[in-house]
């Protein structure tokens, strides 16, 4: 089983990202679950979402405390939330940042594999909005192919309708631009 924790801010699409990933996994015949963890947060407040993917039925129904992958949709969270908390030693952290992967690694004080992309810039250029959910999914798949890229096409088209092509473009661009370091 692969366990993924998403960190974002209300309104950025962390919950949507987890749901889209689960739908892509299910389309491949895998088992998946996605769910948020938040209380009375408001737009802009930190939120956490989770996704599990497995070849076997998933019986656990709890938050993810020791993720295999952490996906961070907002670089400001790197300074105020311990996004790497519980990340497995062989886990991967994928984040948006204008900084180099080396600088991000140093700031987070982690030794894990790291993926970095300026998802906000891509989202602004492609979507015209600073919503990084689909952009960061492209970065995630570049860092670790938990599902095939093609498996996102149907969920993205269903979720975003007439603006799906722009979201697919943002996904693809982030996939190409993500820089990975060991």
The pLDDT value given to residue 45: 80
Strand 46-54 versus strand 31-37 pairing type? antiparallel
The model carries a pTM of 0.92
The pLDDT value given to residue 118: 97
Q: How confident is the model at residue 16 (pLDDT cuts 50, 70, 90)?
A: very high
Edge to edge, the sheet with strand 2-9 lists 31-37, 46-54, 2-9, 69-72, 92-96, 113-117, 179-181
**Domain residue limits at 143:** 2-181
The total number of structural domains in the chain stands at 1
- Over residues 82-89, the mean pLDDT reads 95
Strand 69-72 versus strand 179-181 pairing type? unpaired
177: left (phi over 0), alpha (psi -120 to 50) or beta: alpha
pLDDT tens, position by position, 106-147? 999 999 999 999 999 999 999 998 889 999 999 999 999 999
The pLDDT value given to residue 182: 87
CATH number of the domain within which 141 lies: 3.40.920.10
pLDDT tens, position by position, 39-50? 655 677 888 999
């Amino acid at each position: 089983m692969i366990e993924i924790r998403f960190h974002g801010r209300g309104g950025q699409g962390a919950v949507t990202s987890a749901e889209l990933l689960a739908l892509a996994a299910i389309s491949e015949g895998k088992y998946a679950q996605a769910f948020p963890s938040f209380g009375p947060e408001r737009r802009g407040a930190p939120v956490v979402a989770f996704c599990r993917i497995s070849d076997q039925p998933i019986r656990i129904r709890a938050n993810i405390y020791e993720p295999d992958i952490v996906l961070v949709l907002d670089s400001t969270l790197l300074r105020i939330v311990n996004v790497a908390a519980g990340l497995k030693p062989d886990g991967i952290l994928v984040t948006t940042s204008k900084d180099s992967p080396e600088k991000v690694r140093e700031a987070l004080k982690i030794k894990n594999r790291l993926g970095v992309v300026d998802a906000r810039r891509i989202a602004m250029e492609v979507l015209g909005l600073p919503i990084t959910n689909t952009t960061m999914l492209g970065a995630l798949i570049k860092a670790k192919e938990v599902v095939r890229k093609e498996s996102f096409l149907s969920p993205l088209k269903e979720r975003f309708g007439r603006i799906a092509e722009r979201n697919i473009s943002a996904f693809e661009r982030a996939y190409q631009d993500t820089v990975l370091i060991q």
